[in-house]
Structure 1
Amino acid sequence: MKIESRQYERGGKNIMIREAVPGDARLLSELRLQIDGETENLDREPGEALMTAADFEQLIRQDAARDRNLFLVAAVDGRLAAFCRCEGNLLKRMAHQAEFGIGVLQEYWGLGIGSHMLSAAIAWAEACGLRKLTLKVLETNRNAIALYQKLGFTEEGLLKNDKLLSDGKYYNTVTMGRWR
């Protein structure tokens, strides 16, 4: 299911949220690698589970062909700055839900990109008949947790000592869901 592009302005910057296209693949490969190096909020360290431009092109085409998948990008003044992906489940018992993930370049934090992308994903999920969106978030990522709660997600569980970060300590991962 296609979604319409959304455009808004914040902080003097023009921001567009749209579906990813195969031509974004090279930039997405670079973007993901940069985001992985800017924060420990994600699962990967820089270079781990590396996705090439060809990998991204295949993923974008695959998502476009599946009714229960969505791949969004955000461009700030024409530069790719974020991505968001919802992956539905092919199993009948879990076909009512999709898992959500997002990454935003640190220099663009605070521009509402996460909020706009998640709002677009929620509208898409509702339009295609999904009943539930789920996500996982590091317990220390308070800004993300607050955003998710603001948009109707609730805490569903805690994965204890799930992530080992650079300080040598283990941290919990919060699982959250939004039911329609």
Structure 2
Amino acid sequence: MLIESKGFNIRGISYTVRSANQLDADQLSKVRLQIDGETQNLDREQGEAFIDKEGFKELIENDSQSDKNLFLVAEVNHQIVGFSRCEGSDLKRFAHKVEFGVCVLKEYWGLRIGTNFLKESIAWADANDIKKIALSVLHTNEKAIALYQKYGFEVEGILKNDKMLAKGEYYHTVVMGRSMV
């Protein structure tokens, strides 16, 4: 599904949050690869589950046509600096919910890009009768957990020793949800 673009200016940096389009595919492939190497907060190590330009084109096309999916990008000076997705399911038992994921280049952390992705996704979900948004986050990402809680998400469970990160250390995954049921 598509949303209208919105502009933001935080600490003198202007950016736009908008729906992804086909012209973004090449940039998205490169940005995703870079972000995966900048943080351990995501599921992938750099280069894992790589999505090329054609893969992103297909993803954007599917998300744009689906009323259960939303693919957003943040753009600064015509450069994509982050993206988020809400992905729903065609299965009837899961038709009421979507999974939310977000990533932003480290250079642009602190500009409320993730917050604005979340706010736009919640507004979209509410306007489209989506009853639940689910997500997962590392237990060490306290800022993200606090943000999600501020916007009505609750901790629904903890998957202990769910991820093995650098140096073989294990981390817990916090499962969160925002339900309107």
Question: Which of the five TM-score ranges fits, normalised by the shorter chain?
Answer: over 0.9
**CA offset digits 1:105-161 (Å, max 9, x no partner):** 000000000000100000000111100000000111111111111111010011111
Partner residue of 1:123? 123
SS in 2 for 1:32: helix
SS in 2 for 1:167: helix
* Moved segments of 4+, more than 2 Å: none
SS in 1 for 2:167: coil
SS in 2 for 1:129: coil
Deviation at 1:93, TM superposition (A): 1.1
Q: How many residues align?
A: 180
Question: Normalized against structure 1, the TM-score is what?
Answer: 0.98
State the alpha-carbon separation in 2 of the partners of residues 159 and 14 from structure 1. 38
Partner residue of 1:159? 159
| Residues 66-145 of structure 1 aligned to structure 2 (within 5 Å) | 66-145=66-145
Deviation at 1:11, TM superposition (A): 1.3
Q: Does 1:7 align with 2:7?
A: yes
Q: Does 1:47 align with 2:26?
A: no
**CA offset digits 1:45-104 (Å, max 9, x no partner):** 000000000000000001111110000000123221000000011111110000000000
Percent of aligned positions with the same letter in both sequences?
54
Can you give the 5+ residue segments of structure 2 that lack an aligned partner in the other structure? none
The RMSD of aligned alpha carbons is 0.8
